[in-house]
Amino acid sequence: MQRVFLVLAGLGLSVGTTLAKLPATLSNAPKTKSTAFRPGELWYDTDGNLINAHGGGLLQVGNTYYWYGEKRAQHQEEGVNVYSSKDLYNWKYEGVALPPSQDAQSDIAAGCLMERPKVIYNKKTGKYVMWFHLELKGQGYKAARAGVAVADKPTGPFKYVNSFRPNGNMSRDMGLFVDDDGTAYHVYSARENYDLRLARLSADYLTATPQDSLLFSKHQEAPALFKTGGKYYLITSGCTGWDPNQASLHVADHPFGPWKPLGDPMTGPNAKLTFGGQSTYVLPVAGKKDAFIFMADRWNPKDLKDSRYLWLPVQFKDGQPTIGWLDHWSLNFFNKPSARPL
């Protein structure tokens, strides 16, 4: 902040009148406490470093949120990062929750890909369980496996357990969902991404049970599953690699379906390309009924660590979730009557 102040003073500017006109790098300057989401802008952690947690997901533990995501260099994958926050705007870096292994024989040997990590808490075992999309070193996207790791604390260190193709199926983009009764599910893109499948997890969440079904064959990926009003909703993207495409929304009365298509939930300008992003997670906001945040990645394949985060509120119109663009917004948004489900 002091540095920003000096820069401003040097330019003969005052903080109050000029922040809005400054480039993102300065206006979102390190160590400034944030009170709003600014989708697509640079997002710094509380140490002043850019948040590096792509394809991520959140977990709430008590009054703390943990954000897990891919740690990216320009192209390489460097494990799973974890951040913590009490307000969802300001994030403290907690370190690498699961680093790649230095053992060249390990499934997660440095040079592998660990994508779209998600963490859930198992009440029975008291363990934090991470699932991620694993691609073995040097094999591109051929391996198509799910990887699993466990920890005693949300910040880790996570210990790698194993990797597999759930019930023999290819497993690429994925999400996890824990239902109200504690049953957990793995939702994943299979058969070269043509199929979207759902597998119930074992009681310890460490593996997939044979209860594993095809949800639909529509060439979809980036699944994000959430539940409200007794209905399950699933947001997915098309398959165009790092390039954005049109999102889809499905609804069901049970995670195994049948899933009914509801079309594209995005509205307004640039909606047809999901505002340049790709879904990764939908977060239920604690303490606010039926308040959900849609999280997406705006990938930058030339410099993956510079991929941006799009967090937008889910609104309910005619009882259906819709998502529109906002340059900036805060959790107060959910207090507006128009944001409530009908």
Applying CB under 6 A, which residues contact ligand GAL?
Answer: 55, 115-116, 173, 221-222, 239, 241-242, 278
Please report how close the Cβ of residue 241 comes to ligand GAL at its closest, in angstroms: 4
Please report how close the Cβ of residue 280 comes to ligand GAL at its closest, in angstroms: 8
CA distance 173 to 156: 23
β-bridge pairing 320-324 and 266-267: parallel
Please report how close the Cβ of residue 297 comes to ligand GAL at its closest, in angstroms: 8
- Of 139 and 335, CB closest to ligand GAL: 139
Q: List, as one string, the DSSP characters of 32-47.
A: PPP-SB-TTS--B-TT
Please report how close the Cβ of residue 84 comes to ligand GAL at its closest, in angstroms: 24
Distances (CA, A) of 44 to 53, 90, 91, 214: 11, 8, 8, 39
Asked if 51 contacts 307 with a C-beta cutoff of 8 angstroms, the reply is no
Three-class SS of residue 180? coil
- What is the residue type of 214? L
- Of 34 and 248, CB closest to ligand GAL: 248
- Of 42 and 224, CB closest to ligand GAL: 224
Please report how close the Cβ of residue 115 comes to ligand GAL at its closest, in angstroms: 5
- Of 156 and 175, CB closest to ligand GAL: 175
Vertex 64 angle, CA 121 and 24, to 5°: 120
- Of 59 and 239, CB closest to ligand GAL: 239
Give Rg (Cα) of the chain.
20
Closest-by-Cβ residue to ligand GAL is 241
- Of 55 and 321, CB closest to ligand GAL: 55
Tokens of 231: 């209905």
Question: 10 Å Cβ neighbour count for 47?
Answer: 10
Strands (E), 136-207: 145-151, 159-164, 174-178, 184-190, 195-201
Please report how close the Cβ of residue 230 comes to ligand GAL at its closest, in angstroms: 29
Please report how close the Cβ of residue 310 comes to ligand GAL at its closest, in angstroms: 14
- Strand order, beta sheet including 260-263: 221-228, 231-237, 247-252, 260-263
Non-local CB neighbours of 223 within 8 Å, separated by 6+ positions? 173, 174, 175, 187, 188, 189, 196, 234, 235, 236, 279
- Of 117 and 255, CB closest to ligand GAL: 117
- Of 118 and 127, CB closest to ligand GAL: 118
Distances (CA, A) of 160 to 80, 109, 315: 12, 11, 38
Please report how close the Cβ of residue 260 comes to ligand GAL at its closest, in angstroms: 24
